Amino acid sequence: MENPEPQLRLEFGVLCVFYFTVIASIRMMDVTKVRWMKLEERLAKDIRINGMGQVPGGNYGKINTDGAATIQGEVRCASFTANGSLKLTNSIYAEQFRLNGTGRGSGTIAGGQLRVDGTMKLDGDVSFSRININGMLQARGGAVGEQAHIDGGMKLDGSAQYETLKVHGLIQVGGRLRARELDIVMAGACRASEIRGERISVRKKLGVSRVLAWLSSSLAPRLTAELIEGDDIVLEATKAGVVRGNTIRIGPGCEIDRVEYRVHYEADPGASVGRAGQAP
């Protein structure tokens, strides 16, 4: 009977050659892909506009505009700086996005860092790790990120979620507002359907309430929410249905229907609380 061992060795050798050939091809494809991506990054051109101009959609390195600029189509870039007026016809992704002036957008803006010195109005969402607003940001969508500092105002039709959110001015959210640390110093009317976080602090900015209240009661610094829930809650000038948390301090000017606390609760004589009870 013929010995099958040589044939088996031959087949095994063929399989080994095939296997290592496939692995080498895959690795070569990965290396080629990485090299091509790096080449694309190097070839991504910079754009600069002085006066009036348009930028077509595509991938870019840096985009700088001084004057009146229109961005046509979806854009991805390393940095975007606009001084003057800006119009976005689609979404834009930028690791660094800065606007000094006024802007309007039809899509979503996203990236690493956003800074607005002026006003920005969007039809979509705002998704940046960090945002800094000195002026007003309005969006028909929602906002999400890690850190946000608002010195002026933020108005959203959707919801907002951040790790840390600091507001000096006003914030108006059509949906839910979530932040692990929320600090609001009100200089105008604030609202959200629900507010949830770990540490929540809401107080009025000194020296503005009487002037705004005299002009219109709807402009007075006041927070309105159906539910406020957190671990440590301090409130002033707040109207809410339910406030629930571990430690709750209700300050002057508050109107609260029900307080549910676990550890500690206190209320200022100038506050109105329907009923308060300790949760089991």
DSSP per-residue string spanning 212-273: HHHH-GGGSSEEEEEEEEEEEEEESSEEEEEEEEEEEEE-TT-EEEEEEEEEEEEE-TT-EE
Which of 205 and 261 is assigned the larger pLDDT?
261
CB 61 within 8 A of CB 44: yes
Distance CA 17, CA 25 (A): 12
pTM of the entire predicted model: 0.80
- Percent of residues in the chain assigned helix, strand, coil, to nearest 5: 20, 65, 20
- The pair of structure tokens assigned to 194 is 């629900």
pLDDT tens digits, 139-168: 999 999 999 999 999 999 999 999 999 999
Average pLDDT over residues 115-126: 97
Using CA atoms, how far apart are residues 133 and 225, in angstroms rounded to an integer? Answer: 23
Least confident of 3-7, 216-220, 276-280: 3-7
Give the CA distances from residue 62 to residues 35, 95, 115, in Å, rounded to whole numbers and listed in that order. 21, 10, 16
Task: Please report the pLDDT score of residue 279 as a whole number.
Answer: 85
Return the bridge partners of 264, or none: 247
The rounded mean pLDDT for the chain is 86
